[in-house]
Each structure stands twice: as structure tokens, then as C-alpha cells.
Structure 1
Amino acid sequence: MSNDYYNNKVQEIAPQYLSLSFEQVHGNWAHYLPAILDKPHATILDVGAGVGRDVSHIANLLAKRNQEDNQCRVYAVEPALQMLQKGQNTTQGQNVHWLQDSLPALDKTTRLEISFDLILLSAVWMHIPVSQRSRSLRKLANLLKPGGKIVVSLKFGMTAQEQHERKMFDISVEEVEALAQNLGLFSKLESQNKKDQLGREDVYWQTLVLQMPDDGTGAFPFIRHVAINDGKSATHKLALLRVLLRIADGHAGAVLRREPSANGDRVILPLGLVALYWIHQYKDLIDHHGLFQTPNKSPNMGFMKDNGWNQLTHRTSADFRIGNLFVGADAKALYRALSASAQNIKKMPCKYITLTNSDTRVFEVDAKTVRAKDSLFLDLDSLTKWGEFSLPETTWLALNRYACWIEPVLVSEWVKTMASYQGNQDFSSSDKQHLLYQALEWEEPKRSTTGVRQRFDTLASTQQMHCVWSAKTLKRKYDIDHSMPFSRWPNNDLWNLVPSDSQINNNKRDKLPSEKTLNAAKERMQHWWASAWLNENNLNQKQRFFAEANIALPGLSAQNDSIDDLFEALLLQRGRLKGMQQLSEW
């Protein structure tokens, strides 16, 4: 930022800024203010506060509330001394604390050891050079309370002369949102283009409200701390967090039970499932991409045993999923790979992930010895044989609710970690790191309906088929629809694929069926499940059908074989997706 320009022009600029009201400039996000100001200990920071118009308005609002127990504090940061002094005059007698400080370091502000409910960045972002933006937003994110918001107003239409004089740089909404996502922030509001209130014809503004997720427990900041700040001698910690996130996001039915403890309830998962996903995410990284996961130049990790992992080099990550059957030598090798992975999880990340400033371990493992056999069907029952994995319920809920915001942070940190390792020196340059991101792409279920279509066509040759949603008779032209939209929740399980009229499916697209719509389709959906997959003549299909459903949907036991219970769980999952993602209903 050009402090000299603003110091020299303060007498000209100040009247312009003060001629506009707070509502004129910030009306598109001001509706968030009352809830923040009602907090008894709210803290608010204005970075680049200028001549104090905005902090003066906020301080006035606080004064009008006149709540005896309200100890809100307002801080104003301004790098240009003359602007700061003018701001101090503007807010004289008000409860505003001024600091001469600047991004990206914000040294004086950081030394206050205060975190903030609201950080305002009004007409500042374009002053920050591109090379300093990632660090600047990271610094601001570190100053946020859980649930806190950063308001960023973005200026567009700057002339070349203005950019030169004021040291401004080109900006974009997409850049800010991408940086925010990598820091675990999500975009709460993105305003439409707004005309410049000072009447400059080519100038317009956009506002972003970025928020730090908050589950009300502090679990999200802990996860973020492990992902971003914690020491990493290998990628184990990131791997475990990502495994747990993927289970929380996609396998609500994986919870064996909840147990009370002195520090709150804990969630119990099958250790074998954690180990399976551990293998799933490391498999292609190591065997296919050849990426090192430790700082030294040895590719071997503790779970890569000759009689287990190294016997499965012909397999890909896609093979290690619920509902798959391993037989013969592959089954025995997988038994051993799961056992080795379970022990590695126990001895490495679980041992070293502790509560902040404490030796207390966050995750607990109760491992059991499992003898290798020549057949292994991957379902909840079989994966429980390896023992149990325990984590705080608050952490589970944070992973469950905020998966789409946490995962980019984990992936970003994993890329940085791998790029720093000696064995991955070919990928250390920034122009090569996109290859690391590609390698870390999670092997999602394939969006394929081929097998289900074949089953439909077989049934259609001997009986009349109907659209699950409309009851229309289906003939040659039909679709296989994901009842829970695949684009919002990637699930290609048998229970989630249903026959649909093509026009109906086109109308539904990626919308979430309403509870009323789903209930209306219950009888037809259950008839399709029973006729397609639950025929006693094909026990393998039935076994796969319930294995997938019982671990993906909430509240089902591993032994469930009731489609009535399955449908009730589907209704629960529908509600979860609606609540977490606010999807449009159909």
C-alpha cells in the first residue's frame, strides 16, 4: 500500500470517505452485525480503517445497545500515519483502539493475543501484492474466532494511473475464494456488482463474507491446527484426518456406538474401516505415482510389508471399497495389509496427535490380532474384527458437517508437505505442484449405471417396469437416477440407483428429493430394491446391497437386512444433506 500517497492526500480523501454513510457502503452485509454485537465479549477489527468512518459507526451501535455486561471491543488498524491520526479524531471519545500496523504481518495486532468475531477489510485487498495475498489471508484467518467472519470489499475498474499512484493490483473474486478455501474458510456471502457510491462511472464493487466454520465446540480449530500448524515428520497426521473426514462424510452408518468419557462423548468406529481407507488413499500415491511420504529418500513406510502391501501392487485404490470381495492370495495379503496399517495408525499419528499444549491423545486405538484367511468381504462386520478406533464426538461432528471446507485445507497442506521432501524434489517448483494435487484426488465411486441398466433390462424382459418417481411405465427410453444427487454426495451404491422416466430425471437433475416426494415413492422404490437385488437366488448381490447401505446411511446396524429400516435411514440422510448443504429440493 502506498502510505505516502494517503498521507499526502489525507485532507482531500478524508471528506470523500466521510461523505458516505456506513449503510451506503456496507449495506449488503450489515445484516450480520446485530448478532455479532449482541455477543457480550465480541471483538471487531477493521484492517485499513482509514479515517475511521466504519469503526465510528460500529462503536455508535455498541453505545446505543448500552448493555452493562457487553464488553465488546473495536480495533482499528491503519498503516498510513496521517490517516490514522485523522481516524483517531473521527472516533474521539468512542470505544475504538487504534494501531499503526499493516498486512501481511500485522505484528502489533497479533501481539494483542486477541481473536476476532469480525474482521473488516474494506477497499484494502487491491493494495496487497499477489505474492503477499496468501500470507495475508492466512494471518487474518489465524486471528478469527470459530464462526468468525472476514468481510472483504473488492474494487474493480481501476485505471492504470490510479493503480500506479496508489500501488493497486488486479484482483478477482475467484482468487480470494480459492485462497480462503485452502485455509478452511467458506464463502458465506458473495454480493452482486455494486456501483461506486462516489459516482465514478467505471468503478464497481463486490463484497465477500468469509467465515470460519464453528460447531460450537472448538473442534474445527483443533482440526485446522493439526492440518496447518502441527509438525509433520511424515504425512501420517494428514492421512489420518483425511481418512476420518471421508468416513464421516460418506459413511454415517460406520459409527458402532457412542461412549461417554470425562471430556465428552466419543465416537467408536471399526478400526478395519480406518485401515481400509488408509490403504485406499496411500495406494496410488505410492505404487502408481511413486511419491515419497517421508522426508528421507526411502520409499518404504511402516505399513508396507512384504507379505501384505507388496503382494497387492497389481491392485488400485478403487479396489479397496465397501462391498468388494477378495479371495485367495489377495485376501490373505489384504488381511495382513489391514493389520499392518492398523498398527501403523496406532503407533504414528494416534500417538503424536495431542490436544494443544497437552500430552493428551485425541484418538485412541484398541487393536486386535486377526488371522489371515482366503476370503474377505469388505463390510462393517468384517472390518470390526481389527478392533476399534475412538475419537471425540465433537471432532466427528466437525468432520461430518464441514467436510467440503476441511478437505481442501488437508490436500493443500499435504501438497506442501510432499513438495518439501527430498524424494519429491522434481515436484518442488510451484509449476509442478498441480501434479501433486492430481495425485491426491480421492478415488471417488465411478458414476456408472451400466450394471444397474443390465439388471433393469433383464427384469424388463419378463415384467413391466415403472418409474420410481412417477409410476410411469418404462419401456425403451429410461434413465437410472441417483436418488441422492451424485454431484452433491458421490454415492454409486446399488440402493441409491433407481429407474426413472427420462423426462422426470431431467427435471430432477441434481436436486434433492423432498421428504414428501421420497415418501410418495417409497413403495415403488422398495419394490425395485427387492426385485433387482434381494432375490434369494443371488446372495452375493444381496450381501453387497446391504453392506453398502448399512455403512453409508445413518442408524443402521451391520446386520440390518430390512428395506423398511433402510428407507427410514434414507429419509435421515436426505435430511442431513439438506441441513449440511442447503440443497434445492424437488
Structure 2
Amino acid sequence: MTKRSATVRHSSTDFYNNSVKEITRQYLSLSFEDVHSHWTHHLQSALKKQNVAILDVGAGAGRDVSYIAKLAAQYSSDTSSQNIYAVEPAIEMMKVGQATTQNQNVHWLQDALPSLDKTTKLEISFDLILLSAVWMHIAPSNRARSMRKLANLLKPGGKIVISLKFGMTKEEQQERSMYDVSVEEIERLAQNLGLIAQLESSTSIDKLNRAGIYWQTVVLRMPDDGTGAFPFIRHVAINDGKSATHKLALLRVLLRIADGHPGAVLRREHFSGGDRVILPLGLVSLYWIHQYKDLIDHHGLFQTPNKSAKMGFMKKGGWCELGERTSSDFRVGNLFMGEEAVALCKTLSTCAQNIRDMPSRYITLPYSDARVFEVASKRVKPVRRLFLDLDTLTQWGEFSLPESTWLALSRYACWIEPVIVSEWVRTMATYSGNRQYAAFDKRAYLNQALNWLEPIRTTTEVRNRFDALKSKQAMQCVWSAKALKHKYDIDHSMPFSRWPNNDLWNLVPSDQKVNNEKRDRLPTERKLIEAKERMLDWWKMAWLDDVSIKDNVALKQRFFAEANIALPGLPRHNLSVDDLFEALLLQRGRLREMQQLREW
């Protein structure tokens, strides 16, 4: 019956590592149905959903997650529509679990509550999370944080199933690092997070027939995002006081980073008020420039009630020296040289200061002076060569926001952005400098000006590279392995129309007929895996291995800089194409879940 601790407590983890044979024998002597029959209807309802995601925290020897994977296969033979993850902190137990679930659709992570760092970096939300015989291992001081973390990982309508162990002796608690538990505590923690608690079993006897031991199961349900983050974002966008468009600009910048750059998270930190996500301040500043550049310089739209269209971050020697640049130039992977590099350095610094002193200072929790966003800025000496990657953008300092806000921005971007844009249009229309657009029939121009300018959907650079390679060797379609001679397309592996990304890693050669069949659909996981070797070969020959290419080092640097920030779970210094491909599979799953894209 007993499963592994999901907390980072060495005595508990060591106990299970050292007792792996005995614990495994006990654990596998019972079936899933023996232990969990009273709540399996929740599992079955979850498995009926499209793109289901299930997480077993403290999965031990893999009995439960193996059953879940087998049951999932009965509901759908398409495993690419099922994300089943198992978390286990004790490495020896995890090895047993991996053997138990060999050849099944189960992904294992060595991870632990209360932080669940590796799981959180997946940027996946779950329909059902199971904690069987885990909660008693979590120290009472870590339980509020653990519950917040689990709630943050739930989809709207998702459920957490927690089995509670009672009747432990003091000796067992000491030996296995266990603590007393109660249904009342679970209900209180759940209520604080907006979760609905339901007791699924009053008491059940221990299936291993241990004297004095009995169990209860509690199911927690998420009615919405459950963190208060979504209504808070909406409050700032619509109801919060605005003397300028700064607050809206900051929300939109963060939304764009959360939606398009899951790899931008430097780390997550625990604070008494909840976990926080740390981003490079330079990236926030870069996107600040991106959204204001054309809005002010090209469209001439006022962003404050003042008599000048200029704002505090538009300084001589900085912003004013970048007049030839457009919004889409300010993106990760681009290189600035000479006086432009110096000017951009100065502009990033003034924008960082503006973000720190204006919107971050004045966006507070409702009915409180507590700031939601924190900025720790650093002085940066201007340089004459500025390559925009995570390392560079971290030099300006760090930007911190609540993890619940980050997740809401990531999950609900397609709903939140129209609210922000609509309020931004309404706000600009009230400024005297924009009076010609005040009438409702004139506001279409304001909406158009707020279009987020992506890099031009061009494949010219990649097509030129393909043609150069084709003149020297045989080339093939990444998707079908067909030989490519005269007619071919350069395809966005993740559809540009639904996730605008023109990075080198996302552009692959394709047979025209195959590309027309794919169109704007998302490749299935199976198709991606089948194409893996051809995709990796293309990346290597086109961008990474050919020393004859001029500026090969800079091109390789750009390739990984773009990938490491756009894809989830990659370290910022990653240089592995295999790890990049695994992150691509994760991003495919995120897009499928969040945007419900049609699959190819």
C-alpha cells in the first residue's frame, strides 16, 4: 500500500532507497483496483477527455501509473493525445517504476514536493493528479506550499486525489519520516486556494492487514484557474487606475513572454506568499521596446495625457539613435553592432528603470500595498557588440512575478490579450493627443497599431541555405523522406498561423505536396518522432556542423539562443539537439492542450 515520499527529506528518501526490495514486494502485491476502486470513476472521466494529462506524484514502483497507462490505452490508441507522468524522488524506487512501466506511455521524472521543479518546467497542466500514500511524508510546514504547487498544475475542472494514512505508530513515523494528517487540514488548505473538497471514502481498512492502520481519500476539484490570478489580471487591465499605458504594456509584455518563451524562466523561488517565477529583466525591457517602438515612432500615438508623445525611456543616445529599426528587430537571436549596440544597451537600461519605477511600483494586490511584481535592476556598461540571448538579457537584472500569474498568462493568453488590447485602445482614445481617433468608428486604426509585429513570415534565409546544400548533396523532406530536387517548401514545424515563430529550428524542408497536406495543422507526436533523425540531420548540416559557412559560430549561437528561450525545460546554455527535440515534443503538447489545434 505504501508509496514513496514526494518531499525532499533525506531520511525518508534514504529509507525507501535502502528498502527498495521489501517495499516493492509489498507495493506490487496489491492491484490498483484493490487500493483505489472507490474513486476510479474520476480517473475514467478524465481519460475520456481529449489531450488528457495525468500526474502520479510519489509513483514508487509504478503500480498505479502502469494501470493508468493501460486504462488510457483502452480509451484511445493514440498515445500522443495522452500525457502520463510519474514523479518519484527516490532514485532506486524510480528505477523499479521505470522497469514496471517499460514500453508503456509513461514519462518518469525524479522530482519532489513541495517545489516539483522539473514537473513545473514542463509547463503542462493536468486533468488529474494522484498522491497515494504521499501526504503523510510532507512536513506540515511544507503543506501549504505543496498544495499551492499542485493547484497551479491543475487544469480548470481538474482534480487532485489524495489518500491519507492514519494509525501510524511513533516508531514508523520516525523511521519513515511521516507526520500526522487530517481531512480537516486538507479541506482548509483547499479552501484557501478555491479548490472544492469532497471526501470519497469515510474509512477503509489497510489492504496489507496491518493492525491499527486505516485510510481515507479526499478528492479536490478546481472550478476555474483557482489561484485568483485570472481575475487579478483582468482587474489590472480593466479596473485599475491608469495615468499612462504602462500597466497594460507590462501585462502584455509578460503575456507574450509566457506564451512564446517558456524557456525564459531563469528559476522559481519559494516565498512565504507563494512561489515566484524569475525572468531576465533585459527580456522584459526588450519586449517593452518591441511593443512601443512602432506605436510611438511610426504611428505617433500618445501613451499618456501629456502634450508630448515621447515617454521617459526615450532618451538621446539611446532610443533616438534606433530610428531606422522596427519593432520586429527587437527579438532574441538578433545581433546589434557599433553605435546601434551602444544605443540599444542604453535603451534597455532606461526601459528597465521605467518598468521598475512605474508599473511595477503601482501594480499591487487588491486592497493592499503589496507589490505583485518585483524588479532587481543592475547597471550595464554599453558595448559595441550586443547579441540578444538569455545570458545577455540577464545582465540587466531580474524580474519576479507570482507563479500563479505566470501560469494564468501562459494558459489563458488567447483570452487575456484581447482584453488588454481592447482596454489599451479605449485608454489611448481618451488622450487629447489622440483626439482624432476618439470616435468609435475611428478606433480601428488604434487596434491596427497595437498589432504585435512578429518577424516577417519569411523563409528566404532558410531557402537560400537549402539551395546551397542541394547543389552539393541529395536532400530530403523532413516529414516524408522524399527526395527534394526542384520543387520544395520550407515548412514551420509548429504552425506559424497559430504560434508565430520564425526561428531557425522551427523551419524545415518539406515536399510541396506533403506541406500542402499539413498546412496549419500540428504534427502528431508520432509524426514528430518518426521525423526526428531527419530533423536533427537538417539542423546539423544547415546550421551547426558546416565550418565552411561564414560566421558559423555566430549562426550556431543564434540557433540555440532562439531554441533555448522558445522551448520549455531547456537550460540556457543547452547545446544538445537531442534535448532540443525533447523540448519540441513538450511544446507540441502545450500547443495542442492550450490552443486545441487540429493535428496532422
Residue in 2 that maps onto 1:472: 482
Distance 1:227 1:392 in 2: 17
Distance 1:448 1:326 in 2: 20
Q: 1:301 aligns with which of 290, 311, 332?
A: 311
Distance 2:377 2:228 in 1: 28
Deviation of 1:241 after TM superposition, in Å, equals 0.2
Q: Conserved in 1, the CA contact under 8 Å of 2:244 and 2:303? A: yes
Residue in 2 that maps onto 1:536: 547
Task: Say whether residues 1:434 and 2:431 are aligned partners.
Answer: no
Distance 2:292 2:356 in 1: 16
Gaps of 5+ in 1: 1-34, 36-145, 149-211
How many pairs are equivalent?
A: 379
Distance 1:322 1:221 in 2: 31
Q: Conserved in 2, the CA contact under 8 Å of 1:452 and 1:480? A: yes
Deviation of 1:497 after TM superposition, in Å, equals 0.5
Q: Which has the larger radius of gyration?
A: 1
Task: Say whether residues 1:448 and 2:455 are aligned partners.
Answer: no
Distance 2:585 2:455 in 1: 22
Distance 1:502 1:333 in 2: 43
Q: 1:401 aligns with which of 405, 411, 416?
A: 411
Q: 1:556 aligns with which of 565, 570, 573?
A: 570
Residue in 2 that maps onto 1:265: 275
Q: Conserved in 2, the CA contact under 8 Å of 1:213 and 1:220? A: no
Deviation of 1:147 after TM superposition, in Å, equals 7.0
Q: Which segment is superposed worse, 293-302 or 411-420?
A: 293-302
Q: Deviations over 1:469-496 (max 9, x none)?
A: 1111111011111111111111111100
Distance 1:442 1:407 in 2: 11
Residue in 2 that maps onto 1:63: none
Q: 1:516 aligns with which of 526, 533, 545?
A: 526
Structure 1 residue matching 2:534: 3-state secondary structure: helix
Residue in 1 that maps onto 2:353: 343
Residue in 2 that maps onto 1:491: 501
Residue in 2 that maps onto 1:68: none
Q: 2:589 aligns with which of 560, 567, 575?
A: 575
Deviation of 1:499 after TM superposition, in Å, equals 0.6
Task: Say whether residues 1:275 and 2:285 are aligned partners.
Answer: yes
State the AA in 2 paired with 1:296.
N
Q: Deviations over 1:28-47 (max 9, x none)?
A: xxxxxxx9xxxxxxxxxxxx
Q: TM-score, normalised by structure 1?
A: 0.63
Residue in 1 that maps onto 2:561: 547
Task: Say whether residues 1:584 and 2:598 are aligned partners.
Answer: yes
State the AA in 2 paired with 1:548.
E
Deviation of 1:584 after TM superposition, in Å, equals 1.7
Q: Deviations over 1:421-464 (max 9, x none)?
A: 11111111111111111111110122111111111110000100
Q: Conserved in 1, the CA contact under 8 Å of 2:296 and 2:310? A: no
State the AA in 2 paired with 1:554.
P
Distance 2:320 2:265 in 1: 30
- Once the two structures are superposed, the pairs formed by residues 75-474 of structure 1 within 5 Å of their partners are 214-474=224-484
Q: Conserved in 2, the CA contact under 8 Å of 1:556 and 1:565? A: yes
Distance 2:585 2:267 in 1: 21
Distance 1:380 1:549 in 2: 11
Distance 1:267 1:369 in 2: 22
Q: Conserved in 1, the CA contact under 8 Å of 2:276 and 2:401? A: yes
Distance 1:256 1:564 in 2: 21
Deviation of 1:214 after TM superposition, in Å, equals 3.4
Q: TM-score, normalised by structure 2?
A: 0.62
State the AA in 1 paired with 2:581.
F
Distance 2:502 2:362 in 1: 36
Q: Conserved in 1, the CA contact under 8 Å of 2:329 and 2:455? A: no
Deviation of 1:213 after TM superposition, in Å, equals 10
Structure 2 residue matching 1:265: 3-state secondary structure: strand
Distance 1:325 1:423 in 2: 35
Q: Conserved in 2, the CA contact under 8 Å of 1:420 and 1:428? A: yes
In structure 2, the CA distance between the partners of 1:506 and 1:265, relative to structure 1 (3 Å rule), is same
Aligned-pair identity (%)? 73
Structure 1 residue matching 2:501: 3-state secondary structure: coil
State the AA in 1 paired with 2:555.
Q
Deviation of 1:536 after TM superposition, in Å, equals 3.4
Distance 2:406 2:223 in 1: 14
What's the C-alpha RMSD, in Å, of the aligned pairs?
1.6
Distance 1:495 1:329 in 2: 30
Q: Conserved in 2, the CA contact under 8 Å of 1:249 and 1:399? A: yes
Distance 2:521 2:341 in 1: 40
Distance 2:494 2:225 in 1: 25
Deviation of 1:215 after TM superposition, in Å, equals 1.8
Distance 2:317 2:507 in 1: 38
Distance 1:267 1:417 in 2: 29
Q: Conserved in 2, the CA contact under 8 Å of 1:213 and 1:402? A: no
Structure 1 consecutive aligned stretches of length 4 or more whose deviation exceeds 2 Å = none
